[in-house]
A and B are shown apart, each in its own frame.
Chain A
Amino acid sequence: MTKLRMVMHRVAGLLAAGLLASGGAAVAQDNPHDPMEGFNRAMFAVNEGLDKVAIKPVAQAYEFVTPLPVRAGVGDFFSNIADIRNTLNNSLQGKFADAASDLGRLLINSTVGIFGLFDVASELGLEKHDEDFGQTLAVWGWDDSSFLFWPVVGPRTVRDTGGLVVDIYSDPTWYTLNKSVAARNSLVALPFVDVRASLLPADKVVEEAALDKYAYIRDAYLQRRQNQIFDGRPPRLEDVMD
C-alpha cells in the first residue's frame, strides 16, 4: 500500500514537472508534423518516468513469470482477435482479397488453432495484414496528421488516436466481460503489456542510437505508420545522391 502511494506521488510529481517543462519548452517549432512539440516533449518526459517506475517493471515481470510458450499463446490469441479488426478495415479500404484472407485466418485460427492460441493460418501460408482504423482514415484521405505523445499509450497522431478509440470499441474483448470492469480492463491492457515486453530488447538500442530520444521515437513512429499505410511500399524520401 505504501509502495503504491509512493509510486502515485512520484507520478504526480512527474506530471507537474512535465507540465512546467511544456510551458518552458514551447519555443520555435519548425517541424510541420509536430506542431505541439512542447506539449509532446513534456508528455514524453512523463511517460519516461512512468515507464521507469511502473510500465517497464510490469513488462519485465510479465516476461519473467510467463514461460515462452504462454507468451507466444497470448500473442497469438490477441493477434487472432485483431484479425476481426484487420478484416473490417481491409474491407473499408476496398482491399477485398486481403479481407477475405484475414477472414480465412480468423476462421482457421479460431477452430484448428484452438481459440487463436496457435497461428495455424500463417503456417498454411495465409499472410497477416495489420490494418487498423487509423490506417483506414489515412486511406480515406486523412493522410497527414499532427503527432501526439500520450503517457502509457505512447506515440500516436491525432488521426491514430481517434483510430485507436474506434479499434478498442470494435474489439469484442471490450464486450465479452461487461459484468466485470476490472477483468475487462485487464484484458484490454494485456496486449499493451505484451507489446511493451516485446520492445524490451530495443530499449538499449534506442538509448544508444538516438541523439535526441524523443525525436528518434517520434520519427520512427511516423515512418512505421507511413510504411503500414502504404502496405510496405511507402514513397521514398529525397536522396541527394540520386
Chain B
Amino acid sequence: MMKKLIALLFATFFASLALAQEAPDALVKRVTEEVLEIVRKDRDIQNGNTSRILELVDAKVIPNFNFPHMTALALGKDWRKATPAQQKQLTAEFQTLLVRTYSNALTSYKNQRVIYKQFKMKDGETDVLVRTEVDEPGRKPVQLDYSLEKLDAGWKVYDVNVAGISLVTNYREQFAQEVRSGGIDGLIQSLAAKNKSLEGNLAKAAGK
C-alpha cells in the first residue's frame, strides 16, 4: 500500500515536472488549439455569451499569463512608485480590463487559421518570443506574437503583440497621463471606472 502511494506521489511529481517543462512554443500551440476547439463547438460563445467566454478564458488562458509583470510593463517607471498594495490593485484592474476587452474578440472567431512560425530556442534561455500568424480568407494575415518568460511554475506570457502593436505597452502613455494628473490612486480609479462602465454595457446587452 505504502509503496503504491509513494510510487503515485513520484509519478505525479514527475508528471508536473514534465508539464512545467513544456516548451514555450508547444504551450502557445496547445492553449490556442484547445481554446479554438472549444469556441468552434460552443454555440453560446459564437453568439456572444460573455459569461461563457470568461469562464473559458479563466480556465484555459489566464493561468498561462503573468499579470503582475504585464502591469509593470504597462506602467514602466511609475510601477516603482506604487506601494505593494497599489501594485496589487493595479494588477487586478488591468487584468479585468484586458480579459474583458480581448475575450470578446473570441466571439468574432469564424474560420481563421493560426499558423505557428518556426521557433528556435537557445539552451538556458528564459525570455523568448513565439511568433504566430492569423490567416483569414480575404484578409491580410495578422502577425500575433507572444513574449514568454520562464518562471518556477513554467513558461508564462507577459506580452502579446498584434500586428506589431503590444497590447501591454500601448497603455504606457495613457497610464503615465493618468499618473501625472491623479497619481497612482488616480490611475487605479480610472481603471476601476472603465471596468465598471464595461460591466454596465454588458448588463445592458444581456438585458436586451
A residues adjacent to B (C-beta < 8 A): 30-31, 68-69, 71-72, 75, 79, 198, 201, 204-205, 208-212, 215-216, 218-220, 223-224, 226-228, 232, 234, 237-241
Contacts and interface: CB of A to CB of B under 8 A. Distances in A.
Contact of B177 (A72, A212, A238): A212
Contacts of A75: 138-140
A238 B76 contact: yes
Given A209-B98, A223-B169, A224-B164, 6 more contacts: A72-B139, A75-B140, A208-B104, A215-B173, A227-B164, A241-B72
Contact of B104 (A204, A216, A227): A204
B72 A209 contact: no
Given A211-B178, A224-B163, A219 B170 contact: yes
A220 B165 contact: yes
B197 to A, nearest CB: 9
Interface string B161-179: 0011111011111110110
A126 to B, nearest CB: 14
Interface of B: 69, 72-73, 75-77, 79-80, 97-98, 100-102, 104-105, 108, 137-140, 143, 158, 163-167, 169-175, 177-178, 180, 190-191, 194, 198, 201
Contacts, number: 89
Contact of A240 (B77, B137, B139): B77
A221 B4 CA distance: 60
A201 B108 contact: yes
Contact of A209 (B79, B101, B158): B101
Contacts of A204: 104
A228 B167 CA distance: 16
Contacts of A216: 170, 174
A118 to B, nearest CB: 12
Given A68-B138, A75-B139, A224-B163, A211 B191 contact: yes
5 contacts: A205-B102, A205-B104, A211-B191, A232-B164, A237-B73
Contacts of B171: 211
A208 B143 CA distance: 22
B191 A234 contact: no
A227 B174 contact: no
A155 B206 CA distance: 35
B105 A223 contact: no
B104 A240 contact: no
Contacts of A31: 173
Nearest to B158: A241
B138 A209 contact: no
A219 B169 CA distance: 9
Contacts of A238: 76-77
A223 B79 CA distance: 21
Contact of A239 (B72, B100, B201): B72
